[in-house]
């Protein structure tokens, strides 16, 4: 302790001497200066020393502590601390030591200005910091988790799917203008209307086929080297014969042609409008050839009669399809409605089936089909193009006016204009009618473009009669009626598909339903509620284990419903699930059309693991929402704002899936077929315009034009026969 005090005292003395040594006092002492200003010298006695603010007071030193073990020989060791306060001693140059030069002060370090970080480096630094924080807390959280409890919960609680938040759509889409819908006529009346005159229409189709065959024979006889008997060997008579056959064909298809003319006055051109104009100009050209004796050729009666045959044939198919669909829709007073709900699951349009009325079906079934909606945009352009090219040809060659008009309109009238929708719609209706399904016209078919999900409920997988109660056993001293009543009450309040099964069992026992309070649907596959002060649990075996209810040893029941009252097992109900054979092809057809099933089941036994293990269904391709979301999706009181796609008159998944599949395939076939017809008509118009301008009568003969139009008809015909093959 003495050494430390000695060092401190010695250091202070050196500082004082250095300060005094730097000041030049001259020949004056401190006493002389103070006496000159009238001050007496300070007393020799020391008083109380007040330390300078901010400095620590020196420790009080004893004279013995200043002595060194070597003796008082040194000048510093023999000094008394009191003598240091005397100024004379301080001014004595002999006793003052040479002041030590203070060390040079080092310049303060220059701190460079921080450079601005780039976005990438800042992001990497922030990411690394988050990773470090996560690593610091990862092991602490892992130690706090009970791994055995987590594994138990994972084994007993089925996994669910969560909905993804959709990204905002930056595109603004203008809503399409809606046309005034036709009147909503009941399906029964529409079925009667479409059934009238159907047989006569079929007979007219056959007669048109015969007329087209006669016109073909008239064209082929001269090419085969044969000659007509007089007076038919004259060209004028041949032209009159050709015009007469076309006139009969126009009379047989007058109703269809009249509809096309009415469309033209409403500015809704279609292929029937183009067919009416082609027949009119061809008839005028034939009569002109018969009277004026122009070039040796036949009018395009063969092409027009063949076009009328396909036009009336397509109208017949469409009328049969409408009649079948309306009859199926009228078969049930309260059919199931299939609607496409926008953004119902995961922000995707979802098909939903719910019980309702046939309202809106009659209006949609009478609206224009998809082919007509495409043709009424393209046909006005074809009409203007035909007129323009005909005017250009007749400007240089006035004698070719009727021939150019007849050739141009005959070449632009596609044979598949009526078949592109009527034939596939008829085949789809014939496929759906035995299943009890009916498509709600083209509006219901067109909306299938956005449908990518379908809700599947308990009744879709297991309709009534496919789940049976094999028996039940009451445990303990609980009354059987009480156990069955409690179980049936909770199942009824949850809306499960087992409601009818347990209700029938309760009625056979003469029991009554109870009033349950605080019903809770658990994710683990069970229900809980309070009934008359009793805490009731109803669920699967996994749910009972989750709620720590003791089950009998050696229990081997694949599908059962368990009931526990106040924490004790009260009853076991053994169930038998039988999956209909139609479920497998129904799910397969949906997945082939890229429609993902969403399990909105309320039966706690129907989970993906059970469906995959017992029935080998592709449960991994099905979405399984949480219990609360499943209850929202399958709520029978939910408001439905989607467009009507179909009506179903039978239970099960098969009619539901077939109606969705047929709508998607029909929409695709109609759009592609209409596009092919438009392409064929446009190309035919250009070819006819060129050939008529150069006067190529032989190249633009009726037979060559017939082959050209039949070539474009072939893919449309094959597409119409593909729709119902699923």
Model pLDDT for residues 460-469, shown as the tens digit of each residue: 999 988 999 9
Tell me the per-residue pLDDT of 149-187, one tens digit each, with 9 for 90 and over.
666 666 666 666 666 665 665 665 666 667 778 899 999
pLDDT score recorded for residue 224:
81
Please tell me the distance from the alpha carbon of residue 305 to that of residue 247, in angstroms, as a whole number.
9
Please tell me the distance from the alpha carbon of residue 543 to that of residue 552, in angstroms, as a whole number.
15
* Stated pTM of the model: 0.75
Structure letter (DSSP) for residue 477: T
Average pLDDT, stretch 478-492?
A: 94
Instruction: Report the share of the chain in percent with pLDDT over 70.
Output: 77
Asked if residue 58 lies in contact with residue 12, where contact means CB atoms within 8 angstroms, the answer is yes
pLDDT score recorded for residue 46:
45
Please tell me the distance from the alpha carbon of residue 438 to that of residue 451, in angstroms, as a whole number.
18
Average pLDDT, stretch 521-536?
A: 91
Cis peptide before 654 (omega within 30 of 0): no
Tell me the per-residue pLDDT of 61-92, one tens digit each, with 9 for 90 and over.
444 444 444 444 443 444 444 443 444 444 44
Asked if residue 625 lies in contact with residue 164, where contact means CB atoms within 8 angstroms, the answer is no
pLDDT score recorded for residue 110:
62
Please tell me the distance from the alpha carbon of residue 664 to that of residue 251, in angstroms, as a whole number.
37
Asked if residue 571 lies in contact with residue 474, where contact means CB atoms within 8 angstroms, the answer is yes
In order of 212, 248, 259, 375, 406, the CA distances from 255 in angstroms are 19, 13, 6, 19, 21
Tell me the per-residue pLDDT of 251-287, one tens digit each, with 9 for 90 and over.
999 999 999 999 999 889 999 999 999 999 999 999 9
- The backbone region for 347, taken as left when phi is positive above 0, alpha when psi lies in -120 to 50, beta otherwise, is left
Which residue, among 294, 292, 305, has the nearest Cα to 242 in the 3D structure? 305
**Region of poorest pLDDT, from 33-37, 125-129, 506-510, 555-559:** 33-37
Helix then strand count (H, E) for the chain reads 26, 12
CA-atom Rg of the chain in angstroms: 51
Please tell me the distance from the alpha carbon of residue 622 to that of residue 82, in angstroms, as a whole number.
101
Please tell me the distance from the alpha carbon of residue 42 to that of residue 135, in angstroms, as a whole number.
73
Asked if residue 598 lies in contact with residue 353, where contact means CB atoms within 8 angstroms, the answer is no
Which three-class secondary structure string do you get for 14-83? HHHHHHHHHCCCCCCCHHHHHHHCCCCCCCCCCCCCCCCCCCCCCCCCCHHHHCCCCCCCCCCCCCCCCH
Q: How confident is the model at residue 27 (pLDDT cuts 50, 70, 90)?
A: low
Instruction: Return the structure tokens found at 365.
Output: 């079934």
Instruction: Return the structure tokens found at 501.
Output: 């099964």
In this structure, the strands spanning 596-599 and 451-456 are: parallel
Structure letter (DSSP) for residue 623: B
In this structure, the strands spanning 336-345 and 568-577 are: unpaired
What per-residue string of b and e applies to 620-633 under the rule 16 or more CB within 10 Å gives b?
eebbbbebebbeeb
Looking at per-residue pLDDT, the higher value among 315 and 171 belongs to 315
- Give yes or no for residue 225 having a pLDDT over 90: no
Count how many residues are written for the chain.
726
- Give yes or no for residue 589 having a pLDDT over 60: yes
**Region of poorest pLDDT, from 295-299, 546-550, 569-573:** 295-299
Q: What is the architecture of the domain spanning 458-633? A: 3-Layer(aba) Sandwich (3.40)
Tell me the per-residue pLDDT of 318-375, one tens digit each, with 9 for 90 and over.
999 999 999 999 999 899 999 999 988 888 899 999 999 999 999 999 999 999 999 9
Which strands sit side by side in the sheet containing 517-522, from one edge to the other? 467-474, 568-577, 560-565, 534-539, 526-531, 517-522
* Neighbour count for residue 219 (Cβ, 10 Å): 18
Which residue, among 160, 161, 158, has the nearest Cα to 524 in the 3D structure? 158
* Neighbour count for residue 718 (Cβ, 10 Å): 11
- Give yes or no for residue 690 having a pLDDT over 90: yes
Looking at per-residue pLDDT, the higher value among 80 and 438 belongs to 438
Please tell me the distance from the alpha carbon of residue 656 to that of residue 648, in angstroms, as a whole number.
7
CA angle 98, 100, 102 (to 5 degrees): 155
CB-based contacts of 719: which residues, under 8 Å, 6+ apart? Answer: 420, 424, 669, 672, 673
Asked if residue 690 lies in contact with residue 393, where contact means CB atoms within 8 angstroms, the answer is no
CB-based contacts of 327: which residues, under 8 Å, 6+ apart? Answer: 187, 191, 433
Domain with CATH 3.40.1110.10 in the chain: 458-633
Residue listed under structure tokens 């309709």 = 463
Please tell me the distance from the alpha carbon of residue 616 to that of residue 583, in angstroms, as a whole number.
11
**Region of poorest pLDDT, from 229-233, 432-436, 645-649, 713-717:** 229-233
- How many Å separate Cα 239 from the centre of its chain? 61
pLDDT score recorded for residue 679:
96
Coil, strand or helix at 358: coil
Average pLDDT, stretch 432-442?
A: 94
Helix segments in 100-146, DSSP class H = 119-144
Instruction: Return the structure tokens found at 70.
Output: 């070597």
Coil, strand or helix at 570: strand
Which residue, among 472, 493, 413, has the nearest Cα to 682 in the 3D structure? 413
Instruction: Report the share of the chain in percent with pLDDT over 90.
Output: 58
Burial of 381 (0-12, 13-18, 19+ CB in 10 A): middle
Looking at per-residue pLDDT, the higher value among 190 and 173 belongs to 190
Helix or strand (DSSP H, E) at 568:
strand 568-577
* Neighbour count for residue 382 (Cβ, 10 Å): 25
- How many Å separate Cα 358 from the centre of its chain? 27
**Region of poorest pLDDT, from 44-53, 208-217, 517-526:** 44-53
pLDDT score recorded for residue 236:
87
Average pLDDT, stretch 644-670?
A: 95
In order of 159, 162, 610, the CA distances from 595 in angstroms are 22, 18, 22
Q: How confident is the model at residue 724 (pLDDT cuts 50, 70, 90)?
A: very high
To the nearest whole number, what is the mean pLDDT of the chain?
Answer: 83
pLDDT score recorded for residue 32:
62
Strand ranges (E), 412-559: 437-439, 451-456, 467-474, 517-522, 526-531, 534-539
Please tell me the distance from the alpha carbon of residue 309 to that of residue 205, in angstroms, as a whole number.
6
Please tell me the distance from the alpha carbon of residue 573 to that of residue 30, in angstroms, as a whole number.
117
Helix or strand (DSSP H, E) at 89:
helix 87-91
């Amino acid at each position: 302790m003495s050494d430390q005090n000695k060092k401190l005292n010695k250091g202070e003395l050196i500082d004082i001497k250095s300060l005094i040594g730097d000041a030049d006092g001259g020949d004056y002492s401190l006493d002389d200066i103070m006496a000159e200003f009238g001050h007496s010298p300070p007393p020799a006695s020391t008083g109380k020393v007040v330390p300078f603010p901010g400095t620590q007071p020196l420790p009080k030193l004893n004279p013995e502590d200043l002595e060194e073990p070597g003796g008082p020989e040194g000048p510093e060791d023999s000094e008394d601390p009191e003598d240091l306060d005397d100024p004379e001693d301080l001014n004595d140059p002999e006793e003052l030591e040479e002041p030590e030069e203070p060390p040079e002060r080092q310049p303060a370090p220059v701190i460079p200005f921080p450079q601005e970080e780039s976005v990438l480096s800042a992001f990497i630094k922030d990411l690394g910091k988050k990773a470090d924080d996560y690593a610091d807390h990862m092991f602490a959280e892992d130690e706090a988790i009970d791994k055995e409890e987590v594994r138990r919960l994972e084994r007993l609680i089925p996994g669910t799917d969560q909905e993804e938040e959709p990204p905002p759509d930056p595109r603004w889409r203008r809503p399409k203008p809606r046309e005034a819908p036709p009147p909503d006529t009941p399906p029964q009346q529409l079925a009667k209307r479409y059934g009238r005159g159907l047989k006569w229409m079929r007979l007219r189709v056959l007669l048109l086929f015969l007329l087209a065959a006669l016109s073909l024979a008239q064209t082929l006889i001269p090419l085969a080297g044969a000659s007509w008997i007089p007076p038919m060997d004259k060209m004028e008579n041949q032209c009159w014969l050709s015009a007469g056959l076309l006139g009969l064909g126009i009379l047989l298809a007058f109703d269809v042609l009249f509809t096309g003319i009415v469309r033209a006055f409403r500015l809704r051109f279609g292929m029937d409008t183009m067919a009416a104009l082609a027949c009119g100009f061809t008839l005028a050209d034939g009569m002109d050839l018969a009277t004026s004796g122009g070039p040796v050729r036949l009018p395009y009666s063969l092409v027009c009669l063949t076009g009328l045959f396909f036009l009336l044939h397509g109208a017949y198919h469409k009328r049969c399809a409408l009649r079948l669909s309306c009859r199926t829709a009228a078969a049930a007073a309260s059919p199931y409605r299939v609607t496409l709900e926008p953004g119902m699951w995961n922000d995707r349009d979802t098909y939903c089936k719910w019980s309702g009325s046939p309202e809106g079906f009659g209006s949609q079934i009478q609206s224009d089909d998809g082919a007509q909606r495409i043709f009424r945009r393209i046909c006005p352009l074809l009409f203007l193009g035909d007129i323009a090219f005909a005017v250009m040809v007749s400007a240089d060659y006035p004698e070719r006016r009727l021939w150019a008009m007849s050739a141009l309109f005959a070449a632009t009238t596609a044979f598949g204009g009526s078949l592109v929708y009527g034939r596939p719609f008829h085949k789809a209706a014939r496929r759906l009618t035995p299943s009890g399904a009916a498509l709600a016209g083209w509006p219901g078919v067109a909306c299938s473009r956005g449908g990518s999900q379908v809700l599947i409920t308990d009744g879709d997988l297991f309709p009534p009669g496919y789940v049976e109660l094999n028996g039940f056993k009451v445990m303990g001293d609980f009354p059987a009626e009480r156990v069955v009543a409690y179980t049936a009450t909770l199942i009824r309040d949850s809306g499960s598909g087992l409601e009818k099964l347990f209700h029938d069992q309760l009625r056979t026992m003469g029991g009554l339903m109870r009033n349950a309070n605080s019903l809770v649907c658990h994710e683990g596959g069970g229900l809980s509620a309070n009934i008359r002060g009793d805490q009731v649990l109803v669920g699967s075996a996994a749910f009972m284990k989750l709620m720590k209810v003791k089950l009998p040893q050696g229990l081997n029941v694949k599908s059962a419903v368990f009931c526990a009252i106040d924490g004790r097992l009260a009853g076991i109900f053994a169930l038998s699930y039988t999956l209909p054979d139609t479920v497998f092809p129904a799910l397969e057809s949906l997945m082939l059309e890229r429609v993902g099933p969403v399990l909105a089941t309320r039966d706690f036994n129907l989970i993906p693991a059970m469906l995959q293990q017992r029935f080998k269904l592709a449960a991994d391709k099905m979405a399984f929402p949480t219990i609360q979301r499943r209850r929202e999706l399958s709520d029978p009181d939910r408001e439905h704002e989607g467009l009507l796609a179909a009506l179903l008159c039978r239970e099960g998944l098969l009619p539901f899936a077939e109606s969705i599949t047929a709508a998607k395939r029909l929409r695709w076939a109609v759009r592609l077929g209409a596009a092919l017809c438009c392409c064929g008509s446009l190309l035919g118009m250009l070819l006819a315009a060129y050939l008529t301008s150069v006067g190529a009568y032989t190249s633009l003969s009726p037979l060559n034009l017939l082959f050209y139009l039949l070539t474009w008809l072939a893919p449309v015909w094959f597409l119409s026969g593909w729709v119902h093959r699923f």
